[in-house]
Amino acid sequence: MSAPQPLLPSDDGLTPLITASEVYPAMERLVLDAKSEILASFRVFDSRTRLRSDAARAHGLDTWADLLAHKAAQGVALRLLMADFDPVFAPDLHREAWESARTLCERLTCQPGCNAQVLVAWHGQEVGPFWKRVLSGQVRARLADLRKGAPTAPQERALSGKWAVRPVSLHQKFIMADDLGAVIGGLDVNPRRWDDPDHRRAPQHTWHDVSLRVTGPILGDIRAHFADCWNDALAVPGASFADPPQPRDATRPQRRSKGTRLLRTRSRPASGALRFGPQPTIREHEQVHLAAIASARHSIYIESQFLRHKPIARALSRAAARSPDLQLILVLPTEPERIIFGGDDSANARHAQALQIDCLTLLRAAFGPRLALISPVQPRPVDPDAEGEPVKGAGIVYLHAKVTLVDDRWGIVGSANLNGRSMLWDTEASVLFTRAEDVAGLRRQLAEKWLRGWLSDGADPTRAKTWNDAAQENAKRAPQDREGFAMPYPEERNRRFARWLPLLPDALF
């Protein structure tokens, strides 16, 4: 199967990028063209990740550490903000972030006159004393495991008794070079995320994601947002791995009624004995999603890693009642990565799925046959040694994208999932675009990817029936005889897995 061709840039500087095979080379070319400054913020940024573009390889560069060191040697300033993770509850992610930063900075320090500042930072929120007592038993067990390895400085502090529980993340993913452009979306940089639109890898190595390359006035907004996040990281404080970090001049992103616009979620630390999460301060993702859904009349297309935020589900239900012909196409992974590949059957994982099942039940009742609930599955028999539970004999395609398209009037692509974390707590950044050609074009491109031959007879990708017919027919066929990736979401096995744990706040999930 050949991959769909990427869309041409729109007149207002918007280019969709589907999967890492398109995103990574675009990022690399952007960095190679930088003349003065590179700004980047990622949840996961592994500087050891191999480069993919011909342009980077033509310079003899192999990894992202090589690429950034190459630009530093040319006098380009680098400001990189990476998420840190709770050193007790997420020790592997924490160690990987620190190791990536160390690897990068070993390369940067070889460059004379290098102007690079690299921060690995937490969000400042810590749970209150009540929750520390509730979680202390789990902490003791995890500290015992930390003693078996080589602890980082934050883990050493935790082992000495100075630990905190940090429930919030810097979840955004973007990179920007001068005023040349930015790549922003749902894709981090590490080898796990690499895949192409055909998804021929083993299921545990598949990864579908969507980003945008943007130019124009939105770049000033991304720069202003980066400055706010950078200054917050200095206040936490984040761990510095290169030159001493300096604060950045803060300006406010512009409010625009037309063209591309930056959407943000931000929160500030909040204290109190019973406090678990932060105080939301910027809720643009939630506000714009609710406004877009309220305006919907014909078609809503959503790709999301999670759908757990009850206000979004209720807004969709109300929209279905208002507009009797409104169609909802919802594309979700069969299960979260930590469940299907990591084998997580904890109470937290089961509660998270219960939240999603509750939302999906509401949507089924509201939309009936106007809902298409789809999961991408490989059109080939699964290898017996592959990880993850198969779907009718085939391995899944892991979906990590965050895309919302409403009629031909609203398009959102970025880092925010449809869960409480992304709507209220975590630091997120996305792009809102409103040009009809861009919204319709991205919808068509994604439909052609997932449905392939099912659109060859002129079927309408805005209709739930088109997706349901394709998924149900595929489900009747042997894996190798299926057309495209669309299969029914395996709702029953998720219902069996789900269990309510009404203790922690829903926004944690």
Q: Which of 80-84, 111-115, 186-190, 334-338 has the lowest mean pLDDT?
A: 111-115
Look at residue 12 in the predicted model and tell me its pLDDT: 59
Say if CB 434 and CB 259 are below 8 A apart: yes
pLDDT band at 384 (very low <50, low <70, confident <90, very high): confident
342 CB neighbour count, 10 Å cutoff: 14
Is the pLDDT at 10 greater than 50? The verdict is no
DSSP string, 16-81: EEESHHHHHHHHHHHHHH-SSEEEEEES-B-TTPBP--HHHHHTT--BHHHHHHHHHHTT-EEEEE
Q: Per-residue pLDDT averaged across 428-445, rounded?
A: 97
pLDDT band at 2 (very low <50, low <70, confident <90, very high): very low
Domains annotated for the chain, with CATH where assigned, are 14-204+211-240 (3.30.870.10), 261-508 (3.30.870.10)
Q: Which of 212-226, 252-266, 372-386, 494-508 has the lowest mean pLDDT?
A: 252-266
pLDDT band at 112 (very low <50, low <70, confident <90, very high): low
Look at residue 265 in the predicted model and tell me its pLDDT: 98
- Looking at residue 425, the DSSP 8-state letter turns out to be I
In this prediction the pTM is 0.95
DSSP string, 233-282: HHHTTPEE-SSPP------PPPP-SSS-EEEEEEEE----TT--S-EEEE
Is the pLDDT at 218 greater than 60? The verdict is yes
At 497, list the tokens: 């897995």
Percent of the chain predicted with pLDDT > 70: 96
Q: Residue 14 corresponds to which amino acid?
A: L
Look at residue 11 in the predicted model and tell me its pLDDT: 44
Look at residue 6 in the predicted model and tell me its pLDDT: 39
At 385, list the tokens: 């040694």
User: Which letter, b or e, does each residue of 475-491 get, where b requires 16 or more Cβ atoms within 10 Å of its Cβ?
Assistant: eeeebeebbbbbbbbbb
Q: Is 321 exposed, middle or buried (0-12, 13-18, 19+ CB in 10 A)?
A: exposed
The pLDDT tens digits of the residues spanning 255-293 come to: 666 779 999 999 999 999 999 999 999 999 999 999 999
**CA separation, residue 45 to residues 40, 125, 172, 175 (Å):** 9, 22, 11, 11
The pLDDT tens digits of the residues spanning 474-484 come to: 999 999 999 99
Say if CB 176 and CB 224 are below 8 A apart: no
Look at residue 8 in the predicted model and tell me its pLDDT: 38
Which of 280, 324, 288, 248 has the alpha carbon at shortest distance from 421?
A: 280
Q: Residue 452 corresponds to which amino acid?
A: R
Q: At what angle do helices 310-322 and 284-295 cross, to 10 degrees?
A: 20
Q: Residue 396 corresponds to which amino acid?
A: I
Q: Residue 238 corresponds to which amino acid?
A: G
Q: Per-residue pLDDT averaged across 103-108, rounded?
A: 92
The average confidence (pLDDT) of the chain is 94
**CA separation, residue 328 to residues 211, 219, 249 (Å):** 22, 32, 43
Work out the end-to-end distance of the chain between its first and last CA atoms, rounded to an integer number of angstroms.
36
At 155, list the tokens: 């883990």
Tell me the residue length of the chain. 509
Q: Which of 97-106, 111-120, 230-239, 369-378 has the lowest mean pLDDT?
A: 111-120
Rounded Cα gap, residues 187 and 43, in angstroms: 9
